[in-house]
Structure 1
């Protein structure tokens, strides 16, 4: 199944155009290295939380915006080979010189998909989510993800993807473990819902929450530490 490299990045709001240019500069290289898709999504509806949230995850300042992004690979082997190319290709070094954000607070990691429903074609809005799950709850999370995907697709979503941490490191400043306040053997899960536009997403969420199939789903994670938000794609290649 698809292997995902997930990212959360704090970007100065005033540097949005520079960030888009920077991302587009990297696209052909990632494609050459084996990526099948690269998406950068700009925070539009990112709520503040009581325990944690996407803002706190990257220590975002008031004049910054949280960017939720991912790169898809056909498998882990392709992704691992791409990482080696990224670390050694001089062209990537040149791209890195123009980063319009604080790379020390960007977090990333490799996630293995456990559920992938629908197709990401015509995406105009994205709900991004990161949750903590028990280290032995991968199968339960996969079952839960597959069960809730159907109502989302039927109520307007284009695609629902859920992936579990496979190669996610602890960071010096920020990381996915701290983002979800992971406890003990818990690991982060990274996922998203793709919609054609925000209006469809808003209407779809109302229908999903009212769908009786959602009532019997026992989420295998602590929803109080789930962090999420709505994003508009600014790069989708």
Structure 2
């Protein structure tokens, strides 16, 4: 079952190319550590929210842009081994020392796949990213909702819909996923994304989806605390 290491980062807008280069340099090591895909996306339509939003999640400053990124692994064991290998590799330590962003405000965690709707091959053209706090008792209800909506989104142009459930989500000193969505009690973090061929296809697809009565349902979570935004890929590497 697919396992995901998800990240959200605040990067100075002026450092976009430096960030892309930094990620590209890390890609070969990520591949050799067992990952099957690495994607980095740059904030394009990231709205302000009343309660929560991506900017607040990483305490982004006015001159910073939110990056939504992830690594995909075949399973958690592969991901855990990869993380241990990276922590002990001097090359990664050197890269960590020269990160073109504030690593203390980066949020990250491990997520097990609840649903992976796989479409056609090839890199993504645009990504809708989301973070959600879901009561632990509603895990199956959330999975059922995702299984219902994913085929509709695919029908209207999405190439892939992925929903993942928080499995190894650490607390941070400055920021973390739970604080990002104001999670309480037994709520778990869902890290999800939708891939589209292009930003135009995404706009058209959502217009059709929102008009479809099949998309009307009761959400098994507090939608007011859901974080979402549109992101443009700056790196998309896949390996078999």
Short-chain TM bin: over 0.9
SS in 2 for 1:160: strand
Mapping 1:29-68, distance limit 5 Å: 29-68=29-68
SS in 2 for 1:205: helix
Q: Does 1:71 align with 2:99?
A: no
Residues matched between the structures, number = 236
TM-score, with length taken from structure 2? 0.97
Contact 2:123–2:236, Cα closer than 8 Å, also in 1: no
Contact 1:52–1:227, Cα closer than 8 Å, also in 2: yes
Runs of 4+ with >6 A deviation: none
Instruction: Find the counterpart in structure 2 of residue 156 from structure 1.
Output: 157
Contact 1:118–1:153, Cα closer than 8 Å, also in 2: no
In the alignment, the residues of structure 1 paired with residue 189 and residue 20 of structure 2 have an alpha-carbon distance, to the nearest angstrom, of 27
Instruction: Find the counterpart in structure 2 of residue 81 from structure 1.
Output: 81
SS in 1 for 2:137: coil
SS in 2 for 1:26: helix
In the alignment, the residues of structure 2 paired with residue 225 and residue 191 of structure 1 have an alpha-carbon distance, to the nearest angstrom, of 14
Contact 2:9–2:107, Cα closer than 8 Å, also in 1: yes
Deviations 1:182-213 (A, max 9, x none): 01111110000000000000000000111121
In the alignment, the residues of structure 2 paired with residue 144 and residue 86 of structure 1 have an alpha-carbon distance, to the nearest angstrom, of 36
In the alignment, the residues of structure 2 paired with residue 79 and residue 90 of structure 1 have an alpha-carbon distance, to the nearest angstrom, of 19
Contact 2:12–2:63, Cα closer than 8 Å, also in 1: yes
What is the deviation of 1:219?
1.4
Instruction: Find the counterpart in structure 2 of residue 14 from structure 1.
Output: 14
Instruction: Find the counterpart in structure 1 of residue 105 from structure 2.
Output: 105
Mapping 1:110-129, distance limit 5 Å: 110-119=110-119, 121-129=122-130
SS in 1 for 2:66: strand
Question: Gapped runs of 5+ residues in structure 1?
Answer: none
Deviations 1:8-33 (A, max 9, x none): 00000000000000000100001000
